[in-house]
Amino acid sequence: MSIVFANSWGWLLDTCSHIDEGLQYCMCALDGQANTRFFKYSFKRHYFDISRPHITAKQNTDALFSDCLLVTKNSANGEHAKIDLKTRKKRKRKQRDLNAGELNAHAYHEKIRSAVLEGSQSLVEAGCKCGYLTGGLTVVPSELMPVQECQLAALCDMAKPLPLTDDSTAAPVQTLNRDDLDAPLDLFSYITENPYDCAYEVTLMRERYLLPPRSRFLLSDITRIQPLVNCGDKFDLIVLDPPWENKSVKRSNRYGSLPSSQLKQLPVRSLAAPGCVVVTWVTNRAQHLRFVREELYPHWGVEGLAEWLWVKVTRSGEFVFPLDSQHKKPYEVLVLGRYPYSADHTVRSSTELPEQRLLISVPSILHSHKPSLSAVLKPYVNHQPKCLELFARSLRCDWTSWGNEVIKFQHSSYFTKETIEEPSDTGHAQ
């Protein structure tokens, strides 16, 4: 279970344990198909080993350098020179005035600051008392990152010229064949489904990936999302983690971003069931938050109802960045809304979305590896809901996932595995 503790402020989450839940029994073909073995997979713990803040409150001020000397090397004669940082600080340019976006972000921060501070303290104290937040996880990894480089987005670009599935196809879904786990699959034109109650390790594009039980995915970009619409499913919960444009992304070139205007092209109206809850992860740029509230949700016909905050802490419960840092905040915003019910729709969620809640967790060191919202949103959607994640980078049990890196974090190199005995019931297609 991903929820470690819950109270009126929100939830303390264990993201790593939630990833492991669907991988307790995983079938893998060995030596072709002549021999199959069962394994238990666990996400490597060092990806969640945040033992210290990325920046401390002291480092966030000039006082850190008050009595320091910076030693540099003169490239011309090889001699070392000392620069008094006290003197350097005096020559520092005056702080510029904040622009409109920064002023809006500051105003938003001041509005939610006390709730973040008080709610985080309450949930972190509970995490310490129950022994979850102890600061003692530190693990020495054999390798910090998987040896393979993710090429999924590039493969999606290469697949663009391929013909799409026929629009008349009622259900463009291909099912995993557990009698031939490494059979070729068209990942770019069809939704790929593992309908079984058991996870499977399969070879896709010459790499090994783990498919959780009852998970489905489509590997494509926004130009080839039509198979998802053609499958005919209407979803009770849709979560989006858009690749927002910002200067940091452009500098690092870690992934392709998407202009805000293109988000309006997503077929959310065609995918949403009556009463569908829509959740969008938003960066701390005020213009992105305003765009979701004032343009994106109204365009889709979604009524904005709440703004929750994901607060990131270390394993000892400290904020990963100072709460009042001018550069990076220790939280991200989730904007929640609901698609209207139809006039004749009789089944409605009995619980209304609260306006503000906190999700506290130790973040992954992997970029854009968000915690699952399945458990915290369960009370606010229908029983046995159909759930969809857009711009996903991992798969979840009982969810459909879409994105151009949708199976990135399912690569076997992110996991450790342990051989286990074959369970009495390996599961059947539902």
Please tell me whether residue 263 adopts helix, strand or coil conformation: helix
Distance CA 118, CA 50 (A): 22
pLDDT at 199: 95
Segment 19-34 shows an average pLDDT of 79
Residue 102 has a pLDDT of: 82
Number of domains in the chain: 1
CATH number of the domain encompassing residue 293 = 3.40.50.150
The answer to whether residue 343 sits within a structural domain is yes
pLDDT digits (tens, 9 = 90+) for 65-120: 233 233 334 444 445 444 454 444 545 545 567 788 788 889 999 999 999 999 99
Q: 72: buried, middle or exposed (CB in 10 Å: 19+, 13-18, 0-12)?
A: exposed
Residue 185 has pLDDT above 80, yes or no: yes
**pLDDT score of 250 more than 90:** no
Total number of residues shown for the chain: 430
Helices (H) and strands (E) in the chain, counts: 11, 19
Residue 207 host element (H or E):
strand 207-211
Asked if residue 78 is part of any domain, the answer here is no
Q: Taking residues 146-158, what's their average pLDDT?
A: 70
Burial of 304 (0-12, 13-18, 19+ CB in 10 A): middle
Q: Is residue 23 part of a domain?
A: yes
Res 39: pLDDT:
92
Residue 311 falls inside a structural domain: yes
Q: Which of 105-114, 176-185, 417-426 has the highest mean pLDDT?
A: 105-114
* Mean predicted confidence (pLDDT) in 45-63: 73
Kindly indicate the confidence band of residue 280, based on its pLDDT and cuts at 50, 70 and 90.
very high
Domain that residue 15 falls in: 3-47+129-420
Lowest mean pLDDT among 37-41, 247-251, 357-361: 247-251
pLDDT tens-place string over residues 326-337: 889 999 999 999
Residue 425 lies in a domain: no
d(CA 354, CA 307): 9
Query: Which of the 8 DSSP states describes residue 163?
Result: P
The count of C-alpha atoms lying within 13 angstroms of the C-alpha of 322, restricted to the half-sphere facing its C-beta, is: 11
**Which residue type, as a one-letter code, is found at position 343?**
A
Average of pLDDT values for 207-217? 96
Query: Which pTM value belongs to this model?
Result: 0.85
SS3 88: helix
The reported pLDDT for the residue numbered 237 is 98
pLDDT score at 85: 42
Instruction: Identify whether 99 is part of a domain.
Output: no
Question: Higher model confidence: residue 123 or residue 93?
Answer: 123
Q: In this predicted structure, what is the pLDDT of residue 61?
A: 46
Lowest mean pLDDT among 35-44, 224-233, 395-404: 35-44
The answer, yes or no, to whether residue 55 has pLDDT greater than 60, is yes
Mean pLDDT, to the nearest integer, of 357-374?
93
C-alpha–C-alpha distance, residues 411 and 418, integer Å: 16
Domain assignment present for 408: yes
pLDDT confidence of residue 254: 53
Predicted confidence (pLDDT) at residue 426 exceeds the cutoff of 90: no
Whether residue 80 is contained in a domain is answered as no
The tens digit of pLDDT for each residue in 1-12 reads: 689 999 999 999
Compute CA 221 distance to the chain's CA centroid, rounded to the nearest angstrom: 17
Q: What is the mean pLDDT of the chain?
A: 83
